[in-house]
Amino acid sequence: MLVAMRRLLILAGLAMTLTASAQEIYRWVDKDGVVHFSDQPGSDKAVLIKVIEPNSFENEDAGGDDSGASPGAATEQPPADLPPYRGLSISSPSADQVFFGADAVVTATAEVDGTLNPEHSVVFFLNGERRDSEGLSAEFANLPRGSYFLRASILDANGRPVISSSQTTFHVRQPSINSPQSPQAPRPPQLPRPLPAPVRSPSR
């Protein structure tokens, strides 16, 4: 019982010593089997023990960084986002532009006010149907006669719209006599009418 109490007192004193500061501690066992701890070797068999400071465990968990940041947090920086788009518009076709003929090719072009993110893409919607583009333009051919509604959108890497343009309208018409394909085309020249033959008086 006495030996157990002495061990408890020794351990309590050791805990107070470790909490106060880090220092050299020696450990040895006497002839009665009692374990001793002291800052001075009390026996030629005393062994020097390395005392770990209380806060050193936290430093080891944090990778030795006192700032408490997780390992690799200082080296891995997320890429800076490009500035947001200030606007998106359709430069062609113009509003209510008319195209003549079923073989007419309509070229749609979008303008971005800002820098296009490499991970984003520009698409067009013709009468609500998605049409992929090459860069900022797309071509539509073999459109039947009628009116068409066109708008452009910028999609992110997940296909979600980032910004959309206002809707514009253009028309496809078939050429006719009343609506020629080119309003500026000259009319064919009209030939002059032949003059009537002169009337001769009867001879006597």
Whether the CA torsion 130, 131, 136, 138 is positive or negative: it is negative
Q: Could you tell me the CA-to-CA distances from 130 to 10, 124, 162 in Å, in that order?
A: 81, 6, 15
Provide the pLDDT for residue 174: 81
**Residues forming a β-bridge with 109:** 92, 137
pLDDT surpasses 80 at 185: no
- The model's confidence at residue 57, banded by pLDDT at 50, 70 and 90, is very low
- The model's confidence at residue 10, banded by pLDDT at 50, 70 and 90, is low
Provide the pLDDT for residue 3: 53
- Looking at residue 24, what DSSP letter applies? -
CATH topology of domain 87-173: Immunoglobulin-like (2.60.40)
Provide the pLDDT for residue 161: 93
Sketch the domain layout of the chain as residue ranges.
2-61, 87-173
pLDDT tens, position by position, 77-117: 444 555 689 999 999 999 999 999 878 899 999 999 999 99
Provide the pLDDT for residue 58: 47
Cβ atoms of residues 107 and 131 within 8 Å: no
